Every structure is written in structure tokens, then in C-alpha cells.
Amino acid sequence: MIAFMTRRLLLGVMTIWLISILSFIIIQLPPGDFVDAYIAQLSSSGSQVSAAEAENLRQLYGLGEPFYVQYGKWLARIVTGDFGESMEWRRPVTEVIGDRIWLTLLLSFAALLVTWGLALPIGIFSAVRQYSFADYAFTLVGFIGIAVPNFLLALVIMYFAFVWFGASVGGLFSAEMALAPWSAAKVWDLIKHLPLPALILALGGTAQLIRIMRANLLDELRRPYVVTARAKGLSEARAIIKYPVRAALNPFASNIAYLFPYLVSGSIIVSIVLGLPTVGPLLVKALVAQDMFLAGTIVLLLGVMTVVGTFISDLVLMWVDPRIRHQMD
């Protein structure tokens, strides 16, 4: 159990390290160094930068030095919480991102809950009532979930909501709440707006999990121990839930580690279609405007968030599945 946790933790640290390198590469990729870009930006808006100031900036970011020195300096500043300044917004990156990173986390987490909440009962139901009408219906919905990219789903739902109800389904807040300071009313407003985007985001993953759960449970239900349980006179619900479902959960649970990154990825593109105030629209805008500190920071934060989320879901998995808890590998 300790070994499993350590392994996962090490893997997480390695992933974060790799993501930090990739984020830094992204910051570095545009041609020219970013102090030049910064100065050009400033002078186009009227302010002047003296040669001494520019030299200071170059020193600070270690420009002209080898890649790993620049990377080291960048990493050292990040550890102290200094993510640099957004060139487009002329404010610290952390300030620009603000609540958005938490809303991204909230949306992805809500989608994760929806995925679990739907896939588990539907998967069990489809397996127990194999070839029933409902099973076929869920299979059909499942195939649609796999085949329709979630941004397309968002687009179509938005269109039909508009045509049929004349309502806009976008956003995470009502118009009057969007800029208001946080309060109980605003939280309630958020909770009311959350289900639809979470559902859109969750459909693809749910469809896959239903298929996995159904297949696994079907394998388990044919095992002799289920017959034994029934022969002993266990109630049908108990004979299914107590052992076969738990056994079928294992591969299901190990897939969850890859579900969270998938959801975070998806939230970017769904947010753009639905106009949600997450980091998604901000990231795309920053990349288009080559506002690289902002973009790099968002990529890094999303990466770290994913790794932490995955680690937590691993812990949950360990708690659910005794086989992993006792595995010494």
C-alpha cells in the first residue's frame, strides 16, 4: 500500500516536472526574446522603457544564458509564487487568472461526479438486464457519447435550447451575478448553472465507462460464485452488489486516473463554446495574442491540477479496492 502510494506520488512529481518543462518551452517558443516583445508592447502603448530597465529585465529572466539556466530562474520564481506579468493585461498573471482556475477545477470535478454517478448505475443496470430495451437505449446513447466530440455536443445543445426555449444556456452565472462579489446567493446561482455544462463535459467519458462497466460485470455475473450466492438464498440485489459489482469495479476504477486529465482537457473547449468563465477562453486568447507568461502559467496550473486530481482519485481507488491496498508491488 505504501509502495503503491509512493509510486503514484513519484509519478505525479515526474509529470509535474515534465509539464513545467513543456510550459517553459511554450513560453519560449515565439521568435525573439520576450523582453523585446514586452518593450515593443509597452512603447506601442506610449510608455518608454530605458535601456537600463530592459537590461534589468534580461538579467532577471536570464536571457542570453543557456536554456536550463533560464528554466531554473523561472522555476525558482514560480516556487515563490511569482508567475510573471501578463503582457496583454499589464497585471500579474495570478491576478488575471483569479477565480477562473477554481471554476475550472469545480467544473471538471462536477463532471467527474456526473460521470461516476451515471456510469455506475447505468453500467450495472445494462449488464443485469442485458439485451433489454433499456440496455439497447443506453448502448445507443453511449455510442453517441463516444462519437460526438463534446464541443460539438455543446454547440448542438446550445442551438436547440435557443430554438426551442429561446434561452441561452451559456455561462456559469446569471448576468446580474457574474460580477458580484462572492456570497451565498452567488454560490447558489453557480450551483444552478453547473449541471448542464458538467453533463455535456461528462457524456463522452460516461459512455466509455458504461461500456467498460457493463462488459466487466457481464464477465463476473457468469462466475460460479454468483450461482453459489443465489443458491444460498441471497437476495438478488445483494447477490449482485455485494461481490460481482465490487469485482467489476477494479478496471473501472483504474480508468479513472485517465478520466480526470481528459475532463480538464475537455473543459477548455466546452468553456469556449458555452462562454464559461474558466481558464479555457483565457488560454486561447493568451495564445492567440502570444501572451506567453499567461499561457504558460495556465498550462502549468492545469497540469498540476490534473496530477493532484489524479492522485486523489488514486487514493479513493485504494480505499475502495482492497486488492490494491494489499498489493505490495
Partner 1 sequence: MAQIDSEKYAVATQLQLTWWRFRRHKLAMISLVLLVLVYLLAIFADFLATQDPHATDARTSYIAPQPIQWFDDNGFNPHVYGIKGVRDMKTFKLVYTVDPNRKVYIDFFGQGYEYNLFGLIPTKVHLMTLRNAERGDGIYILGTDLLGRDLWSRLMVATRVSLTIGLVGVSISLFLGVLLGGISAVYGGIVDTMIQRTIEVIRSMPTIPLWLGLAAALPNNWSVLQVYFAITIIISLLAWTDLARVVRGKFLALKEEDFVMAAELAGASQGRIIFRHMLPSFASHIIAAVSLALPAMIISETSLSFLGLGLRPPAISWGILLQDAQNIQTLALAPWLLISAIPVVVVILAFNFLGDGLRDAADPYG
Residues in contact with partner 1 by the rule CB under 8 A:
11-12, 14-15, 18-19, 22-23, 26, 29-31, 143-144, 146-149, 151-152, 155-156, 158-159, 162-163, 168, 170, 257-258, 261-262, 264-266, 268-269, 272-273, 283-284, 287-288, 290, 295-296, 298-299, 302-303, 306-307, 310
Measured from the CB atom, is 116 or 151 closer to partner 1? 151
CA atoms within 13 A on the CB side of 120: 14
Distance in Å, CB of 50 to partner 1, minimum: 30
Distance in Å, CB of 323 to partner 1, minimum: 20
Sorted by sequence, the CB contacts under 8 Å of residue 283 that are 6+ apart come out as 268, 295, 298, 299
Measured from the CB atom, is 119 or 229 closer to partner 1? 119
Measured from the CB atom, is 244 or 309 closer to partner 1? 309
Distance in Å, CB of 134 to partner 1, minimum: 20
Measured from the CB atom, is 244 or 277 closer to partner 1? 277
Distance in Å, CB of 28 to partner 1, minimum: 9
Distance in Å, CB of 244 to partner 1, minimum: 23
Distance in Å, CB of 230 to partner 1, minimum: 29
Distance in Å, CB of 292 to partner 1, minimum: 9
Question: CA geometry: angle at 108 spanning 314 and 125, to 5°?
Answer: 70
Handedness of CA 20, 26, 31, 34 (dihedral sign): negative
Measured from the CB atom, is 52 or 328 closer to partner 1? 328
The closest alpha carbon to 197, from 310, 274, 289, belongs to 274
Measured from the CB atom, is 57 or 257 closer to partner 1? 257
State phi, psi for 85 to the nearest 5 degrees. Answer: -115, 140
Measured from the CB atom, is 229 or 256 closer to partner 1? 256
**Residue 60 corresponds to which amino acid?**
L
Query: Any idea of the CA torsion for 98, 102, 104, 106, to the nearest 10 degrees?
Result: -160
84-93: b (≥16 Cβ within 10 Å) or e: bbbbbeeebb
Residues 26, 18: Cα–Cα separation, whole Å: 12
Q: Assess contact for 256 and 113: CB atoms under 8 A.
A: no
**Residue 178 corresponds to which amino acid?**
A
